[in-house]
């Protein structure tokens, strides 16, 4: 059973050398009798920025750290091969937390955010890790539940072409908002404007002054900032918020590798006279609306109202580089790795 293991706890941005492909133990392709577990063959693995937080020896994170020498775990899509759990049967497709390995023995009593997947000819299976998975749900819950959007409002999204950002922008457009996204390459900017329907987009790496860039696109200010990056972009957005604006603090990918999460924020004072609401959130707080999310987003997708961009790598040996790429922006869209045929 080939596995990707964490070699050692990391500092700074993860590198491929922090992970290792290991030919694990030979395993029997069976779920042991009486174990209440089930054995799955992993088909697709998801790479997500939050995983970086689990690669550090840092216990106050909301998820426990990985253990050096042991396989990394994350969201995946898998097929049940054998089962000693009455709720899961051979052939079932499941999505949830699984191992970065060919086969995983899972126990549904562990909190794996497990759900069964029904095949749908109109929707690629891997989308259950992106559009219909944690990333898509983060966009949906964050936009509707945290941002309190109104028709006609101006919305700014950072890391806008990524797994979460691309859906936030499209939902905001469907809601009747004016939407601008920032991204780290001209190719991504082109994607935002020409495929994802953003009104405007800019390459933040080409802007010497982020405040000036935001003033250019939002001369009357920003009602909603959906923040995926933190740092200097959040600081610039604070200067450009409208009175009673909302900032959804979704993630801080620019800071995840630094020790001080407040680095780069000088303009927080602006939130007071402008009565800006800043709210951090975790998608897991909103799981009660997951069924509603699935119904809405599947509908939008099938009606052609939204599209979804995926970045697919092939092979278990490429999972480490795919994860590392999230922190320099090599991914274009949701980063997924196919490790076995459906």
Q: Give the interface with ligand NDP as residue ranges (CB under 6 A).
A: 48-50, 134-135, 138, 159, 161-165, 183-185, 188, 228-229, 250-254, 281-283, 326-327, 329, 331, 334
State the nearest-atom distance from the C-beta of 197 to ligand NDP, in Å. 17
| Token digits of residue 262 | 């407040």
Nearer to ligand NDP, 80 or 210 (CB): 210
State the nearest-atom distance from the C-beta of 312 to ligand NDP, in Å. 13
Which string of b and e fits 143-159 if b means at least 16 CB within 10 Å? Answer: bbebbebeeebbbbbbb
State the nearest-atom distance from the C-beta of 304 to ligand NDP, in Å. 22
Distances (CA, A) of 250 to 39, 62, 159, 197, 279: 34, 14, 11, 22, 9
State the nearest-atom distance from the C-beta of 329 to ligand NDP, in Å. 3
State the nearest-atom distance from the C-beta of 36 to ligand NDP, in Å. 29
| DSSP notation for 82-107 | EESSTT--TT-EEEEEEESBSEEEEE
Cα–Cα distance between 167 and 173 in angstroms, integer? Answer: 10
Cα–Cα distance between 274 and 266 in angstroms, integer? Answer: 15
State the nearest-atom distance from the C-beta of 84 to ligand NDP, in Å. 32
| Token digits of residue 126 | 């891997």
Nearer to ligand NDP, 154 or 254 (CB): 254
Distances (CA, A) of 309 to 17, 78, 136, 161, 170: 28, 21, 12, 8, 12
Nearer to ligand NDP, 79 or 128 (CB): 128
Nearer to ligand NDP, 174 or 287 (CB): 287
Instruction: Give me the phi and psi of 10, to 5 degrees please.
Output: -110, 160
Cα–Cα distance between 187 and 190 in angstroms, integer? Answer: 5
Nearer to ligand NDP, 245 or 251 (CB): 251
CB-hemisphere CA count at 13 Å for 261?
A: 8
Nearer to ligand NDP, 3 or 240 (CB): 240
Nearer to ligand NDP, 126 or 254 (CB): 254
Distances (CA, A) of 55 to 33, 107, 144, 313, 324: 33, 23, 31, 22, 12
Output DSSP code: residue 130. T
State the nearest-atom distance from the C-beta of 5 to ligand NDP, in Å. 23
Q: Is 312 exposed, middle or buried (0-12, 13-18, 19+ CB in 10 A)?
A: middle
Nearer to ligand NDP, 3 or 98 (CB): 98
State the nearest-atom distance from the C-beta of 93 to ligand NDP, in Å. 22
Nearer to ligand NDP, 31 or 96 (CB): 96
State the nearest-atom distance from the C-beta of 54 to ligand NDP, in Å. 12
């Amino acid at each position: 059973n080939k596995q990707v293991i964490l070699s050692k706890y990391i500092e700074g941005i993860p590198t491929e050398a922090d992970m290792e492909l290991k030919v694990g133990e030979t395993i029997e392709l069976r779920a042991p009798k009486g174990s209440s577990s089930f054995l799955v063959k992993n088909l697709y693995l998801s790479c997500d920025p939050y995983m970086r937080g689990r690669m550090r020896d840092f216990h106050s994170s909301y998820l426990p750290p990985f253990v050096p020498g042991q396989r990394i775990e994350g969201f995946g899509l898998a097929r049940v091969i054998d089962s000693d759990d009455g709720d899961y049967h051979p052939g079932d497709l499941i999505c949830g937390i699984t191992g970065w390995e060919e086969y995983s023995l899972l126990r549904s009593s562990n909190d794996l955010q497990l759900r069964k997947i029904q095949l749908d000819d109109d929707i690629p299976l891997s989308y259950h890790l992106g559009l219909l998975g944690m990333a898509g749900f983060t966009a949906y819950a964050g936009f509707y539940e945290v941002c309190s959007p109104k028709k006609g409002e101006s919305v700014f999204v950072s890391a806008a072409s990524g797994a979460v950002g691309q859906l936030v922008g499209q939902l905001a457009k469907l809601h009747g908002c004016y939407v601008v996204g920032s991204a780290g390459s001209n190719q991504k900017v082109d994607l935002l404007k020409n495929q994802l329907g953003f009104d405007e987009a800019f390459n933040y790496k080409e802007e010497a002054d982020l405040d000036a860039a935001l003033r250019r696109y939002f001369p009357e200010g920003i009602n909603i900032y959906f923040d995926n990056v933190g740092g200097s972009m959040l600081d610039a957005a604070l200067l450009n918020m409208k009175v009673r604006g909302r900032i959804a603090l979704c993630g801080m990918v620019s800071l995840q590798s630094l020790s001080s999460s407040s680095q780069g924020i000088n303009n927080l004072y602006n939130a007071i006279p402008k009565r800006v609401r800043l709210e951090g959130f975790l998608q897991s707080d909103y799981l009660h609306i997951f069924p509603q999310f699935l119904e809405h987003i599947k509908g939008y997708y099938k009606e052609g109202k939204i599209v979804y961009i995926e970045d697919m790598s092939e092979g278990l040996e490429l999972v480490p580089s795919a994860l590392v790429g999230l922190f320099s922006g090599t991914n274009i869209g949701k980063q997924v790795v196919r490790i076995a045929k459906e």
